[in-house]
Structure 1
Amino acid sequence: MLKKTLLAAVISTVAVTSMIAPSYAEPGSNTLKASQVFSGEGKTTWAKLDNGQFTAWGSNYTGTFGNGYDGVYSIAPVYVPLDFKQIVDGFNHAVGLKEDGTVWTWGMDSIKNSVSKTPKQLPGVDNVISVSASQENTFALKKDGTVWQWGKDSENMPAPVSGIQNAKVIDSGSFHSLALTADGEVYEWSADKSVTKVNLNHIKSINAFHSANVAVKDDGTVWFWASDQPDKPAQVNSLHHISEVALSEFGYLALDSDNRVWLWKPGDNHTTNVVLDGTAKHIGGGQDYVYALLGDGRVLAWGNNENGQLGVGSLKKVIEKPTLVAKPIGISINGKEAVMSLSPVIINGTTLIPLRGVFEQLGAKVTYDAKKKLATIVKGKLNIQIGLQGASATVNGESKQLPEPAQSFSDSIFIPLRFIGETLGYQVGWDPANRVISIDG
């Protein structure tokens, strides 16, 4: 059903509406500035910042952040200790390519049914220039133009994909992959590794998603086909002068030669321009959201947000309009950068921090009674109890007013930052220029 919906949506785009102004603010200190953004089939997004640091946001249930944590999601970017030239999300696992041509993976291993929370190098794989990932497999494009795969379909051992030579680009959907060769031809293969040539030529870019595929020709026209119909590509008649296309369940994006981004959705019979200023330089998307990287490094995201996959610091489940991704909030504890599984968030002007992550690094013991919805923090003679959505907390039996009620999301409890200083006697500071919280004492 999804495949038919995708096909109908793409080939029915025959009219163009008037341009719609984007809804985002001018640059500010709370806005993320990135040089690269990475995503894939799932709900995790990574960004390389201008200073070389990496951040991640969205789903981290299977450890795809690569920061040693799992089982959570983050609605705002969190700093992660990664350094890769390319990262792709295979839904439950992630793949990273380093500058030296080595390949690293982390997240869920579908064969061993285990989770690696930090990147591990894949042995026997080198000289790689690009990677892609489906839900159960990983693919690598080598300098010599050959494509290799490993995972469930190759018994977790690197094996060449026969029938493909001189490839220059690869991409993967949920259970199939594409390769674009240097002479502009496209090849498709699936679980049985059978390779089929797509009935297209003069192609300059490709994109695979779920069971759908899109290719852009040298002349800027866009062509779509379902993964089991490589002999029946159809042109998207309303799109011209396109350089790049990205697909997701939320909608499909196209970037044109004037750096404008066009959006159309399943069931629509028209195409809508959503970025007027012509400053976009890259587009992408995950399972059910899309994003645009602007020329000045800002990132706009919109779509579904139930796992924080937009990175805008909002608890809204769906955000229809392009919204700026937030700059990460760092935490320094006694002068040392704290590695956090979740980012602090700002709600109603109050900064909330993840209770367990911060208090445990301050030497406190944290427990949670799910039935009573009550968190207890013990450090020395200090006993603190905080109930969810309550306006107060109890400190050694004495009620204390909270500047903002405690919140619960991503299976974690967030409490007001100011409460730490008031109850534990720590000095709490805020560096607005760098968005860093300091906790000293």
Structure 2
Amino acid sequence: MAYHIFASSPRLDTAGQIGDGTIDEQQAGDHREPAQVKGLNHVIAIASGGSYHVALTKDRTAWLWGSSCIASMTRSDFLFNENYCNPYYKLPEETNAYLPGEIKRSDIVAIAASPNHISVVKDDGTVNRWGYWDNAHMGEDMLPYATKDVIAVSEFYDEYTGGLLTLRTGGFVGHNNQPASKQMHGFIKVSAAPLTFNYDLALQQDGSVWIDDTKGVFIALKGLNSIVDLEARAINAGLALDDKGTVWTWGTAKYWYNYQGEASPEPTGIIKPAAVAKSFFVQLNDAYVPLNSEPVIINGTTFVPLRDVFEAVGAKVTYASGKITILKGGTKLELEVYRHRARINGTDKQMPAAPRYYQNKAVVPLRFATEALGANVSWNSAKDTIVIRMESNVNG
């Protein structure tokens, strides 16, 4: 699947990151609304270094816009000049960097970026890399270490050389200056945390997430299953996306915080990933239902607070020691926390997802419970609203 690219900038657009050919050094916030980047189609991957962005297209070409410093190193329409990297020296040609331009490599299959470095992986398994070294040396990295059989990379940023986390044929993982670990294989994606060599994440083909213990040994992170994408955000912190569209997060370190790399990795046993709850609303017929706590999506199922929704539809709700009874008209629905078996008017029925506790409150699967009471449930994506339709919202 290929996409168009949209960009926004809540801060100053000082390097042309928006991709519309302009910069705005004075008025922060003018580009909060996403706008389509000009001249890019059939995009299959993106990466950002903050002051610049890069996109990989379906025809295996990579396009960069933003920082004239990085653009002059990488793009075929520039000749490299160190003055492009001097904020006090302006060259008229640097405005060309404010629109996407093609990186001077072909047959690219993967891209990675950090504030000071950019890497591209070619289909022959080799890597090209450009950027700053020691805050003084700049240009293309000669990559004295072996870069063969590479299928993907992740940049980890520091103020000096930075580095690469590599994924090689067969699913082996290693750093740029080390051979890939032979202790495990079968990984399909890697992500390195910025500002540290001590926190790498890797995604196994079975959907499990693994953490590098800094010795080349990967340990499984418990509580995550069916994961399709991940990102190491900082030391002891990360994000993961599962195949139901649920985002999981753990850790509290701030992204790009300069000194977070000094922390020690936590034992995997004490890391507790939690689902990110998206804010949305519940509407009964034409009226919104006030909720004491927001609905939450867990593994693709929407759960709602026990009483708010069902009392709004005219049902009577009782709860005792994990057992839930919901009465409406001639329907009696009996549920139990963490049990997949429901009873409707004395008849057992299996539920795809069981009631559970969330943030110390009992929540129940919205669709199953409301449809058991005779309602129809739909989703209004434009308004982020769950719509419940019921002929009567009073007992009867």
Normalising by structure 1, we get a TM-score of 0.45
The higher-RCO structure (CA 8 Å, 6+ apart) is 1
Please state which structure has a larger fraction of its residues in strand.
1
